[in-house]
Structure 1
Amino acid sequence: MMKPICKVLIVDDEILVRQGIKYVLDWEQEGFQIVGEAANGREALNSLPALQPHIILTDIVMPVMDGEEFTRLVKRDYPAIEVIVLSSFSEFHYVRSTFQHGVADYILKPKLEAGALLQVLKKTRERIPELCAAGEQTEAEATPLDTLLGRMLSGYRLPLESEAEVKRQLPHECLALLGWEPVQPATVITIITTELNQRVPGLVQCVIPGTERPGTTIMLMNLQEAHWPQLLEAVYHLADMLAGQEPDVRLILSRRFRSLSELASVRQESDARLQQCRFFQPEQTLLIQPECPEQETQPPKFNLALFTEQVKRQQLTEAFGDLHQHVDALSRQDDGDVYEFKSFLGNIIFNITNLFSHIRELDEGKYGLFRAIDEAGTAEQAMQILEDYLNRIMELTTSAASTQGGNAKMMKLLQYIEEHYAEPLSLTELARHFHFNPSYLSSLFTTHNHEGFKEHLNTVRTDKAAELLRAGEAPIAEVSSMVGYGDHSYFCKVFKKYYGLSPSGYRRQHYGQE
């Protein structure tokens, strides 16, 4: 005799805690199934109509809606659902209040381990009448279709009798997934299922629990191949209808497939497309995956060398203008990669910050920018972070130029050094070239630059030497002369002062050599 599966929902604002709970037990082996997870009480409450869990594991202290209010609303509206509270010692006064609402038990987070958790879960399962009243049914007969599909979606291989039961309940040759986000009340789910039933003859629908990403509902549809046009028409009609009633809802229809063995891969395709759309086209409310794989378009190339040269020459308007055009083109790609897009922005900020390393404010704030871009929910948000950063650079450089009295002479000096660093430059020769007094030139550097002439020249030369060493072609002695050092030993001494490694050590480190 096989007991029905007990469905569990995890609610905790810490993703590491949720992940820990998911992997602390062999849930299927013990007769349980995690049907979903949520980061706060409000998100969990919205998911209950679709997920229909038997047991909820919930934290107490959470944003948006805490565990105490969530428990009260669950026991009021879904009295059959059992609630187990997760807490720490310091939160026990909150736990005490939840018992007034009828929680089944509590577990202290510091002592959360497999044996204790399983014991509480089994004891709580015994309080649920429908799970304790299992008769002489087989697993396939006792387990609902949505639970079986949820197992398949998570990669679980069904027994032969369960596979046969799934195929019996899905008699048609054509399969597709319909997903929508955010999770909607039961009334919206009813609207969706009713509308599809009315417009697609013989359609079989089943909402699948256990989605890995909270906030999204997935439904499997089974229909005759000949009725696929009616399904497309119905989905378009649904999108128009919901746009007026629930403007925040986004629908995604997968491609057609014929075998349930494709269920997980089709779901992954839909998730990837949904992630792209959510980031690059957040205003789009209906996504229909193409029947044939789309040809991947190559992203436009960005001329980083030209950009770097323009920034070094203080041609910021031109450099940032080209960058804006490139980022805008990346954001408009239909098959754009979210990770690559964010990585590009992060790399640009890293490179620019290095070029303006003398502006301490930029260097200190770069890690906050990396985090902000990583957490950006849309391309527009990420682009705005970059835009604000570039505007700040313009302000700081303009301010610096103003502090220097708009000293065009200083800019010309720095540009000349950048172009002639490999020559035997000295303060006297530079003063002669620009018709300055050497002492005036020395004072000019000290007043209007963050380092003196000698230090600046060494910075430029060692930076160029580092580039050549990374290229890995020229011998170190040759690199020394290429960047303007006639004395090889002096070059090694200066390089180590600026980079903390000898030239050979720097090259080995770059290539990961012992």
Structure 2
Amino acid sequence: MKILIVDDEVIIRNGLCTVIDWKELGLTLLPPASSAEEALARIPAEKPNILLTDIRMQGMDGIQLAHEVKRLLPDTETVILTGYDDFAYAQQALREGVTDYLLKTSRPEEIIKAAMKAKQRIMDKWENAKQETMQTAALRSQLLDRLLIQGDESSLAPVQAWFRKNGVQPDESSLAPMRVLLLAATGWGDGALAGLLLGAAENMLYELLPAVTMLKADRIVLVVREEARVSDCGGLGRAIDRVRQTLKCTVFAALGRSVASYGELQDSYREAGTVFAYRGLLGAEGLYTSADIADRCGGRTVCSQKEESELAAILMSNNGADLRHWVNRKVREQLEDSAATPSSVQAFLQSMVIAGHRWLERSQGGGKPEAALHTFEVDSRAEDEVFKLLSSVMAAFHEAIADKPFAYIQKSIVYIKEHLDQSLSLQQVAKFVHLNPNHFSEVFKRETGLNYIEFVTLERMRRAAEILQESQAKISEVASRVGYEDIKYFSQQFKKHTGRTPSEFRQSVKD
């Protein structure tokens, strides 16, 4: 905050400058002026917040100066100093916008008190203006939000005035084409820095484009007037490049269709939102429209059986590095798929997590998987999210068996369940848990109540029954999925354990 002292008496002028420590009071002392005319010439450039001036000077007096300052800088506080204790002068000064009146004989503490009062009044004005600006901006954003999201035109008048003021609409007689632009700027980190970057980007775009803007969550919403070489696709691209280069950040922008009325802005906003949802699939930066996603029909939505087996083996191994590598590879495959859509990626990522929970439930002898639905960021952050969820599954399994005696038997059971479609010799499973086959066979029977062959056969029959209940797979396919090449032998084993042939069992389930 700046203060300017004006007095034609050099002793008074210098005394006021040196006796009081203005810096300590939080005021920047401008070079003093020896006349009202000098002060008036300097005021437009130096813009003092407080004016401390003599009332009687050669030429223009302090009251005339106060009048001119009020016209040029309405918020400047003027304090009059005079050697004449003249009430009539004081009244005239107050009418000209002077906020305080002191005698030159006043003690320094009285002058300081008057200056501090003036400073406080200015700070109060600033705070009130700030609150008013924030309230006005909040109201405009609320009305614009209502117009774009709900298509509500009931409070259109303030929005129209705002659009005209910012150059989106030239006048009331006609409407220029408009488009909605959604923009995200990243690269400064998270938290407060991310908010600062968005604010800085919004300010730049406000200066560069005929637009109204508002901040909404992690993005900037702009309604721009469509104008050749200014805010068409080329013009918007140049403005976005300017923001990116100036602020050293990454900018992703989605542009909605051109519309010719306020009522259609909702359509433009929705289209921009649809394109914005592809952020992470289209690329980290650039300006995109609906044409860029027109050919995307959706990628894979479900993990394959092979992928589930890969995941199961990794979860069993308790190897975090292998899990991270596998997750990153699978997520990147989805993000790089030219057919992928946000919904197909979401579904596939959810399928990965469900596959992990399904494995955990099987390994613990449970039924259906208990995997909560998650909404994933459709970008590289999804790798961390999926890895975190699957890591918790892996940790849950290994923590559960860690305190159990003969934990390796539990691991071997899970291994058997995950490899029922393969040849499963006792030696193979014993090797997996790093035990001598004879010792493993002995402990396995003691812990499960069944010998190894009986247990494997029972698990194969259970799995076959599940497949027959849940799918219309052919009997030959069911046999293959539980490790039998001979369909006749499989059918015999199945009837031995269930009392029905596979076909009879399937029919009984339907009935």
TM-score (norm 2): 0.47
Q: Which structure has the larger Rg over C-alpha atoms?
A: 2
> RCO (CA 8 Å, sep 6+): is it higher in 1 or 2?
1
